[in-house]
Structure 1
């Protein structure tokens, strides 16, 4: 009996130990869970604080960048355009690479020796030694590096970058000098196709050199006026200047950022956005426009009106005709009409050739750069022109009006080209707003359209006017003869 009791007490003791161990294990588990929860809460709190700090820092950076007056950097094409199906064709160099972004590109290796040759000719014509010019660039390389986006130059040390910019800068200046004086091209026996593609490569956003580099090389060469005159002559050819006596609209205001920036200034001019919005010619036109606006339109108020016309042919059907503008900058677009005559949309002259697409695409990409504060002058112009060109017939109308010079091929190709360039553009909505409003108001007034069509069809040339006057004279004489026949007094 006693042995039995002893056994039972040992079992109880063992069960108590087991339960004690279980309690201790459970308590340890609960302690670990508590520690894990505390650690997780601490980690969450730390992450939240870090995110809030990032948020605060980002806000401060945005305020600093918006307050600071930044200079556009030489950089890659914005991401929104990098997915374009013809990106390589329009944005990458095809013959010669300039600057750090496409340096060493396989397709441009054949031009490296040519660049060295052109740089050597520049050094020789400058009368200075190559060591002297290279040293001057090397001394300023820290300053020149700031003209590029940091990520495009980070893999180049100062010496490598200085040599690259020295060779490329000298080669660009000498090439521009040759392009400005075509007889030099013949002397060097450079083929026309190479010249054409090299000119396109000079105005690619990713192929730019700081204009300050070119100025420094011109200064150090001691022949600044010679190179400056060559650049001016070359740029006049690039913008196809045909209108003379237009003032100084295309002159630069300060130092350009690079050649592409200089090209944009030449095309857009120095005038601000507000100066380009539907300039009406003369007080009479302004008075006539105000008088016509007193007649109510079906489309409601000006703010509610939307563009209902589609292209040049529809405008002509409504009695609106295109005429060449009196000034050359692309942004000088205006609309005017005189009394009961048709409305005239005045557009600047433009030449369309193989360089038009890459030129406009890179100008649009430049305006899209986040560090370039601008009025989207080129983007707005292309969007406006694309709204007028829908079919080959629209191109024909512009050709017949001596506004568009087609060196590309068929009118159908030009129409497709502008439809491609104008896709997914986000222009300045205030640009040409007044012009669009004036056109729409004229377009909505049917009686004005009918009268304008009548005068244009019957009085568009001196011969039609003479024919009309002759018809009136014949009608008058016929009426007079009839009157005398009926009401003539009896004879003696």
Structure 2
């Protein structure tokens, strides 16, 4: 008879199973491990992982329109969906052309990329790659990475005709490249560019491609001596590169704002106030410095604030000035082009900023929230067009207004974003005679005809005053003066 094993109290507790109806049974030890690992993740300073759109946006009524691919699935999230079968064929054509241009043996090229699969897997949230083993994931990423680089090269150099790819497929594929659920690690692209031996040429193609999408310039470069996935300032993926390019940086924004203002304009003093976070707290009865009484472009216009186009396109480049620090006020806004890609592009950028593991300043969300506050109706869009701030390639102005009212719903901005601008506008808006001056200007100087009419009235009043003065002077003349005037008339 074998001796019976005596279980200690600690071992008994570690084996204790916790059962919850509808969930798999797990031990207490596993629960402790999960909790500890969750705390470790919050302390890790890593780039945001590629993941699905956050649950808060998955119930959006236009989810499919904004977040799901139109032509091709890239990465593991939508891979294998039958409706992207044609897109898979296009990807193979593009990937094959990329390998051909590299002049490398496909087997060697793939095997060198496959060696980094462990590191590449860590760029994704575990949930989206758990159904793929290393070999399957490596081949998928290899084909997708090669196809993306070849697509960008063709787009930047007008080479699609050589591959017999139709223009509509090209346009839809461009939108697909900037979907949150359709991303591959940017370090994969860097690796493939390096292995192909054409890194400089392909980097320049990415620069031109992103510039054509954002109407700006960017130079994604890799510092020598760094691991291909270890660069602190390297983009996480193409969507991240798009966001960085659209926003620019804060130093650039300050320089651009100064350059955008005319010499005779000067900024009004910004309102004092403490730095505020995304969810500010204030004491009871304390005035909220972020509160604003104005709403859309029409109300700003009625107060004498005119829209002006900034010289630079960074979305942070928003400023407010007054001519001679008095009247009128100028709201300087970066130019924006609105077309069919605008909705998906901004919705995916907003979804990216909402990722729980992405620490950011909500720059895109703040811009959309600010622009949405200016656009309430068709006339707001019309005035933005007249100021050359907004270029409408979408259709009617009503469609543009509806678009920004839709994508601006439930967006949580950073209250520090554009805080000085909002404060300066509110300060200007609260001065009573500014509205009176605006009304006078609108009624009498808004067009050449009103100016002529106003000058005509002034001339009439002047002639009437002169005639009255002459009559008064004549009534007070003495006999001698009257005789002289009579002789002058006779002669």
TM-score for the superposition, normalised by structure 2:
0.78
Partner of 1:310: 295
Task: Kindly provide the CA deviation profile for residues 323-376 of structure 1, in whole angstroms up to 9, marking residues without a partner as x.
Answer: 112221112211221244222211111111111111111101100111110000
Asked whether the equivalents of residues 277 and 435 of structure 1 are also in contact (C-alpha less than 8 Å), the reply is no
Shift of 1:181: 2.3
Structure 2 Cα separation of the partners of residues 277 and 64 of structure 1: 40
Partner of 1:174: 150
1:274 and 1:410, CA in 2 relative to 1: closer, same or farther beyond 3 A?
closer
Pairs within 5 Å for 1:93-492: 93-182=69-158, 184-241=159-216, 254-271=233-250, 285-286=266-267, 303=288, 306-338=291-323, 339-455=325-441, 458-459=444-445, 483=469, 487=473, 490=481, 491=484
Shift of 1:278: 9.4
Shift of 1:419: 1.3
In our comparison, the structure showing a higher alpha carbon Rg is 1
1:277 and 1:270, CA in 2 relative to 1: closer, same or farther beyond 3 A?
closer
Structure 1 Cα separation of the partners of residues 17 and 189 of structure 2: 52
Asked whether the equivalents of residues 269 and 424 of structure 2 are also in contact (C-alpha less than 8 Å), the reply is no
Partner of 1:68: 44
1:400 and 1:201, CA in 2 relative to 1: closer, same or farther beyond 3 A?
same
Asked whether the equivalents of residues 277 and 432 of structure 1 are also in contact (C-alpha less than 8 Å), the reply is no
Asked whether the equivalents of residues 207 and 218 of structure 2 are also in contact (C-alpha less than 8 Å), the reply is no
Structure 1 Cα separation of the partners of residues 137 and 30 of structure 2: 34
Shift of 1:251: 9.7
SS of aligned partner of 1:303: coil
1:133 and 1:453, CA in 2 relative to 1: closer, same or farther beyond 3 A?
farther
Partner of 1:81: 57
Shift of 1:445: 2.1
Q: Which moved more, 1:405-414 or 1:201-210?
A: 405-414
Shift of 1:100: 1.0
SS of aligned partner of 2:141: helix
Q: Which moved more, 1:185-194 or 1:323-332?
A: 185-194
1:476 and 1:101, CA in 2 relative to 1: closer, same or farther beyond 3 A?
same
Shift of 1:197: 1.0
SS of aligned partner of 2:75: coil
Shift of 1:59: 6.9
1:57 and 1:153, CA in 2 relative to 1: closer, same or farther beyond 3 A?
closer
Shift of 1:426: 1.3
Structure 1 Cα separation of the partners of residues 441 and 35 of structure 2: 62
Asked whether the equivalents of residues 309 and 387 of structure 2 are also in contact (C-alpha less than 8 Å), the reply is yes
Shift of 1:452: 3.4
Shift of 1:118: 0.7
Shift of 1:185: 2.1
Shift of 1:84: 1.2
Question: Would you tell me which structure has more helix in proportion to its own residues?
Answer: 1
Structure 1 Cα separation of the partners of residues 289 and 120 of structure 2: 50
Structure 1 Cα separation of the partners of residues 148 and 287 of structure 2: 50
Structure 1 Cα separation of the partners of residues 371 and 336 of structure 2: 11
Structure 2 Cα separation of the partners of residues 270 and 64 of structure 1: 30
Structure 2 Cα separation of the partners of residues 465 and 302 of structure 1: 42
Shift of 1:432: 1.6
Q: Structure 1 unaligned segments of length 5 or more: list them.
A: 1-41, 242-246, 291-299
Q: Which moved more, 1:317-326 or 1:60-69?
A: 60-69
Structure 2 Cα separation of the partners of residues 54 and 318 of structure 1: 63
Shift of 1:190: 2.3
Shift of 1:284: 6.5
Task: Kindly provide the CA deviation profile for residues 249-294 of structure 1, in whole angstroms up to 9, marking residues without a partner as x.
Answer: 999982100000000011111227996999895896345778xxxx
**In angstroms, what is the RMSD of aligned CA positions?**
3.6
Pairs within 5 Å for 1:9-88: 61=37, 64-88=40-64
